Amino acid sequence: MAVQSDTVDEFLKNLEIRVLGVDLASRHWAENGTAVLGFRGMCWTSCAVDVLRWPGGVPNAQALAEVILSYCIRHDIRAVALDGPLGWRDPNATAGSRPGVGRVAEYAVRAQGKTGNYGVCYPRTQRRWVELCVAVFAHLLRHPQCALVNSDSPMSLEAGQFAVLETFPTMTWRTCGMKPLPSRRATTSEVQREALRGLARTFAMPPDLLPVDCTHDEVQAIVAALAGVAVQGGPARPVFHGVPAFHCIGSSAVPRHLVEGYILAAAPYNLQQ
pTM score > 0.75 for this model? Answer: yes
* 12 within a domain of the structure (yes/no): no
Cα→Cα distances 69→52, 111, 182, Å? 11, 27, 30
If pLDDT is split at 50, 70 and 90, which confidence band does 157 have? confident
* 1 within a domain of the structure (yes/no): no
Pick from 53, 14, 17, 55: nearest CA to 36: 17
**Separation CA 210–CA 198 (nearest Å):** 11
227-249 average pLDDT score? 96
**Separation CA 113–CA 106 (nearest Å):** 8
* Number of other CB atoms surrounding residue 90 within 10 Å: 18
**Can you tell me whether residue 259 is helix, strand or coil?**
strand
Asked if residue 3 has pLDDT above 70, the reply is no
Amino acid at 241: H
* 10 within a domain of the structure (yes/no): no
Mean pLDDT of the chain: 92
223-246 average pLDDT score? 97
List % helix, strand, coil for the chain (3-state, nearest 5). 30, 25, 45
Length of the chain: 273
61-87 average pLDDT score? 97
* 2 within a domain of the structure (yes/no): no
183-211 average pLDDT score? 93
DSSP string across 149-186:
--SSSPP-PPTT-EEEEEE-HHHHHHHTT-PPP--TTT
Check which CATH number belongs to the domain holding 232 and give it.
3.30.420.10
* 233 within a domain of the structure (yes/no): yes
In the chain, the percentage of residues whose pLDDT exceeds 70 is 94
Q: What residue numbers bound the domain in which 108 lies?
A: 17-267
* 11 within a domain of the structure (yes/no): no
* 75 within a domain of the structure (yes/no): yes
**Separation CA 90–CA 251 (nearest Å):** 15
**What pLDDT is attached to residue 273?**
53
| Number of domain units in the chain | 1
Q: Give per-residue pLDDT as tens, 105-152.
A: 999 999 999 999 999 999 999 999 999 999 999 999 999 999 999 999
Backbone angles phi, psi at 207, to 5 degrees: -60, -25
Cβ 78 vs Cβ 64: under 8 Å: no
**What pLDDT is attached to residue 159?**
86
* 5 within a domain of the structure (yes/no): no
**What pLDDT is attached to residue 14?**
66
